Amino acid sequence: MPKIYLVDVTNRDGVQTSRICLSKLQKTIINTYLDKLGVSQSEFGFPFTNHEINYLNANLELVELGAMKNIKLSGWLRAITQDVEAAFRNVPKLKHMNLSISTSEQMIKNKFQGKLDYKDVLRSMEKSVRLARSMGAETIGVNAEDASRTDMNFLVEFARAAKDVGADRVRYCDTLGYDSPFSIHDRIKEVAEKVKIDLEVHCHNDLGMATGNSIAGAKAALDAGVNVYINTCLNGIGERAGNADLVSVILAVKHAQGIAGKYRLEKVKLNTAWRMCKYASYALGIPIPINQPGIGANAFAHESGIHADGALKDRRNYELYDFRDLGRGEPEKIDTGRQITVGEYSGIKGFRNVYDRLSVQFKDEAEAGEVLELVRYANVHNQKPLVEEELRFIAQYPEIARKIFTMQPGGGE
Ligand SMILES: [Zn+2]
């Protein structure tokens, strides 16, 4: 029976978005959170971009060290041989990747403007898939950018060509958020039935339908007998109006009428979702909307007489799922007295105080001094107060942290 998998693209689509930034340390912490949740793939960045190189290599080392247990870290490249070559040169241990190229008439005519026609698009995709495989890629997805505005016959031809050349999946990108649940269902159904290749659905929220479209597209793929990989972002960030929100997609698969219990989802545990989304919000500097599914302040709040009375009698009267499922409900401790914090100008005494409160021990003064130095750099790197997840990470993986903070324009090393 085919299954639903999740590919979180926060560290790629999310961070390429206007006005949205994450430091390399914050991207790393997000990868570890996604791994804990059980998401099987994080699209963790751009291997042809110099300032990503140390971060990408360091995160692959974290996988080797067992700091991330199950997650596949995948790169995003253009489906051109130059990007594939650069990716393996910069990140030699890269095993998983998506190769992207535009497939719609709009983009071919008005973006490529005569440089590439339909045949060239196919040829570039085929060449880059072959090259990636020959250089050691284990998982190759091929992205049809603007798939929702692509002629159906060409989309099927593109997917078939990708399958013939050995790609593992095709990503159906609703790049502009143009689809409705009805249109994406029918289009995915046609590709899946005709080509029988695993599909990814990548939906944007320009018309407010990203989660609904992802579920409708997934249903079509599963009903046609292929696996589906839903692309998501934390807190629904992503280009323009955002991508499908990770937690919303999981809640929809687990609880929506006609979906829940009918389709298999990879093993995800939502009990860290609350902490993860709060961390992402802090790192991004973007507040969580009060009405965000599962995570917003009002997701389990009741005030009007009839609702409050009903929820108190049985939460099922007005709630589909329990707040504890998302790791909510623990009181949060806020220090209101004297506080010692640690940052870019800290000394050893304050540093010791902060780590003692986290119950993190160091074997000797030299080790403490080394971690203090890295904590200073982490604060320079993040430019906002460091939080527990980050402090623990630096103490546990100092050498990896050092690599993540190291950036040299032009070279990456
Ligand atoms: Zn996108």
* pLDDT at residue 333, as a whole number: 86
Alpha-carbon span 211 to 26, nearest angstrom: 25
Contact 201, 195 (CB under 8 A): no
Going from the Cα of 241 to the center of ligand 1, the distance in angstroms, rounded, reads: 10
Average pLDDT over residues 335-352: 96
Separation of CA 235 and ligand 1 centre (Å): 15
User: How far away, in angstroms, is 201 Cα from ligand 1 center?
Assistant: 10
Distance from the alpha carbon of residue 112 to the mean position of ligand 1, in angstroms? 19
- Give how far Cα 143 sits from Cα of 79, 281, 298, 378, 399, Å: 8, 28, 37, 35, 35
Domain extents in the chain: 3-268, 277-326, 348-405
Q: Which CATH architecture has domain 3-268?
A: Alpha-Beta Barrel (3.20)
What are the tens digits of pLDDT across the range 5-42?
Answer: 999 999 999 999 999 999 999 999 999 999 999 999 99
What CATH architecture does domain 277-326 belong to?
Irregular (4.10)
Q: What percent of the chain has pLDDT over 90?
A: 97
Q: Which residues contact 368 (CB under 8 A, 6 or more apart)?
A: 348, 351, 352, 355, 362
User: pLDDT tens for residues 192-214?
Assistant: 999 999 999 999 999 999 999 99
What is residue 411's predicted lDDT score, i.e. its pLDDT? 57
Distance from the alpha carbon of residue 76 to the mean position of ligand 1, in angstroms: 11
Average pLDDT over residues 147-172: 98
Structure confidence by residue, pLDDT tens digits, 63-82:
999 999 999 999 999 999 99
Report whether pLDDT(413) > 60.
Answer: no
**pTM, two decimal places:** 0.97
Q: Is the pLDDT of residue 412 over 60?
A: no
Q: How far is the CA of 16 from the centre of ligand 1 (A)?
A: 9
Of 54, 76, 57, 74, give the one whose Cα is nearest residue 65.
57
Model confidence at 263: pLDDT above 60: yes
- Chain centroid offset of residue 285 CA: 17
> How far does the centroid of ligand 1 lie from the alpha carbon of residue 283, in Å?
20
The Cα 289–Cα 74 span in angstroms is 29
Q: Percent of the chain, pLDDT > 70? A: 99
CA–CA distance, 107 with 151 (Å, rounded to integer) = 12
